[in-house]
Amino acid sequence: MPQTDPSYARLPARFFARVAPVAVADPQLLALNLPLAEALGIDPVWLAGAEGVSMLAGNTLPGWATPIAQAYAGHQFGSFVPQLGDGRALLLAEILAPGGGRFDLVLKGSGQTPFSRRGDGRAWLGPVLREYLVSEAMAALGVPTTRALAAVATGEVVWREEGALPGAILARVAASHIRVGTFEYFAARRDTKALALLAEHTRARHFPLADGALGLLASAVAAQARLVSDWMSFGFIHGVMNTDNMAVSGETIDYGPCAFIDAYHPDRVFSSIDRHGRYAYAQQPNVALWNLAQLASALLPLIGEGEAGVEAASAALDGFWPALSAAWSARFAAKIGLASARTGDHALIETLLARMARQGSDFTRVFHGLADGSARDEFADRAAFDAWAVDWHARLSHEQDPQAVMRAANPARIPRNHRIAEVIAAAVTGEMAPFARLHAALSVPYEERPEWADLSDAPAADEAVTRTYCGT
Ligand code: AMP
Ligand code: MG
């Protein structure tokens, strides 16, 4: 039995709704993250057994669960929605891990709640396996993220635009599920008491060294700047950076229409609903800052009313670009073999990216191929790469061990869209072996292994997945 402490469920009743999961017909375990279970202090044998699976399906809960649906608001594509909330998810427990740390255990797809609006409260197998694979890949890459503990098939059908689909539930683990939109929820209601409680809860939980609401804001700004730099350094596009999908902790959350870029272009968009490119690859820093400005304005009553409050909040937001620039430069410098970035390196990196964009080179293959000389093969016009490589080699001559730096920064494998699509198509027919293979390969993304060579390939023209869906 894990050690638990329901600190969020102890907040006032208006923070959430107490609601139990809705039982499902025939739960079947699809995937289980044993190392994560152990790290949480959950007995893996129990979790894989009848009682554990019953909990993961939401059919019966152990005594230590205190299920709640959290209230939050959010700006969706720029428009404010004063009430969203967990419409198909429940926070089961906060687990105190034996090795330290507090983690939310959430079921996603566990049935309707008072926040479901017109939704059925469910998820289908595709997005559940997608989130499992991509969030675990992100963790293996070293990017702050929610984790996947388990995926369970419900034995029920879910109706979506595509028709009848197999239902599933994801068990997700996170530092917390406190979003920018959680603050907006109380700010919109002018509930300053609740805001103060939420700010203190969040500060103490994620940024214990921060001073008050202003310190919380500054810390959240720094954490998001680092996170977005991490995303960009792996070619990751979140796809739906609404304020309700931004965790204040600085973890990646809500893997909906996300995608890793294959053919690089800064304006790349995958999400079917992002018609104007609001959440395009290179827009992500701007959007993160826009979201943080919503957090700042929600926190204003705590930071201070009037001119002084606005100035203090603005100064905290001003920390974003320097933090982003430093993190971005460090990440991309390492990708081209530089132990640290110097003046001029930024331009060197930008030149490479511009040439990749012009030729639609594969993002992951170019960077991974810098260490072994195969990068130039990713350029239809090799001369464009060679010209850049002259400056690059000149710069590398000042470095100690650029090969090692590059190998640690550039994965051989990322979760490619067409591979995820294959895995889901197989899983729908009951075949989980492709999932297991892809999951295993993504758990050691920096290791080159001949048996997984196909997973490093860029999609052929007829394989490429160019659109991704929210999957609600
Ligand atoms: P998302 O686009 O997944 O971030 O979800 C936005 C909002 O819609 C959140 O409040 C979700 O809880 C809610 N939502 C999404 N899908 C469903 C569903 N199938 N049933 C109920 N609520 C949902
Ligand atoms: Mg969401």
Residues at CB less than 6 angstroms from ligand 1: 84-88, 115-116, 119-122, 244-245, 254, 256, 470, 472
Ligand 1: centre distance to CA 57 (Å) = 18
Q: Can you tell me the distance from the alpha carbon of 234 to that of 143, in angstroms, rounded to the nearest whole number?
A: 9
| 205 CB-near residues (< 8 Å, 6+ apart) | 7, 102, 175, 176, 178, 249
| Per annotation, catalytic residue among 86, 104, 230, 244 | 244
Tell how far the Cα of 127 is from the centroid of ligand 1, in angstroms. Answer: 13
Residue 360 is assigned to a structural domain of this protein: yes
Atom 11 of ligand 1, residue of closest alpha carbon: 87
Among 19, 79, 84, 88, which is best to mutate for testing ligand 1, by the most ligand atoms less than 8 A from CB? 88
Tell me the ligand closest to 119's alpha carbon: 1
pTM greater than the 0.95 cutoff: yes
The protein residue whose alpha carbon is closest to atom 14 in ligand 1 is 87
Angle CA 436–437–439, to nearest 5: 65
Atom of ligand 1 nearest to the CA of 242: 4
How far, in Å, from the CA of 244 to the mean position of ligand 2?
6
Could you tell me if residue 83 is inside a domain?
Answer: yes
End-of-domain residue from the set 152, 174, 196: 174
What is the DSSP code (8-state) at residue 247?
Answer: B
Residue 187 placed within a domain: no
pLDDT value for 462: 87
What's the gap in Å between 200 CA and the centre of ligand 1? 27
Q: Which ligand is nearest to the CA of 245?
A: 2
16 Cβ contact list (under 8 Å, min separation 6): 8, 9, 68, 69, 70, 71, 91
Indicate whether 420 belongs to any domain.
Answer: no
- The answer to whether position 70 is within a domain reads yes
Residue 260 CA to residue 281 CA, distance in Å, equals 9
State the virtual CA torsion across 80, 316, 335, 282 in degrees, nearest 10: 30
Give the distance (Å) from ligand 1 centre to CA of residue 193.
Answer: 27
**Residues 326-369: tens digit of each pLDDT:** 999 999 999 999 999 999 999 999 999 999 999 999 999 999 99
- Using the atom order of ligand 1, give the atom closest to the CA of residue 254: 4
Q: What is the whole-number distance in angstroms between the Cα of residue 123 and the centre of ligand 1?
A: 9
Looking at residue 247, its amino acid is A
Does residue 251 fall inside a structural domain? no
Answer with the one of 174, 198, 215 that is the final residue of a domain: 174
| Protein residue whose Cα sits closest to atom 3 of ligand 1 | 472
Whether the CB-CB separation of 338 and 405 falls below 8 Å is answered with yes
Total of domains in the chain? 2
Task: Give the three-class secondary structure for 67.
Answer: coil
Task: Give a yes or no: residue 259 inside a domain.
Answer: no
User: What is the extent of the structural domain holding 376?
Assistant: 329-409
Can you name the residues that pair with 347 across neighbouring β-strands? Answer: none
Which ligand has an atom closest to residue 246 CA?
Answer: 2
Burial 87-125 (b: 16+ CB within 10 A, else e): bbbbbbbbbbbeeeebbbbbbbbbbbbebbeeebbbbbb
The confidence score (pLDDT) of residue 468 equals 86
Secondary structure element (H or E) that encloses residue 76, with its range: strand 74-76
Q: Are 123 and 108 in contact (CB under 8 A)?
A: yes
- Mean pLDDT in the chain? 97
Question: Which of 409, 443, 464 marks a domain boundary?
Answer: 409
Residue numbers of the chain with a pLDDT score lower than 70: 471-472
Q: Is-catalytic flag, 244? A: yes
What angle separates helix 212-233 from helix 306-317, to the nearest 10 degrees?
30
To test the pocket of ligand 1, the residue of 116, 182, 273 to mutate (highest count of ligand atoms within 8 Å of its CB) is 116
Three-class SS state of 334: helix
Model pLDDT for residues 206-220, shown as the tens digit of each residue = 999 999 999 999 999
Work out which ligand 1 atom sits closest to the CA atom of 256: 3
419: in domain: no
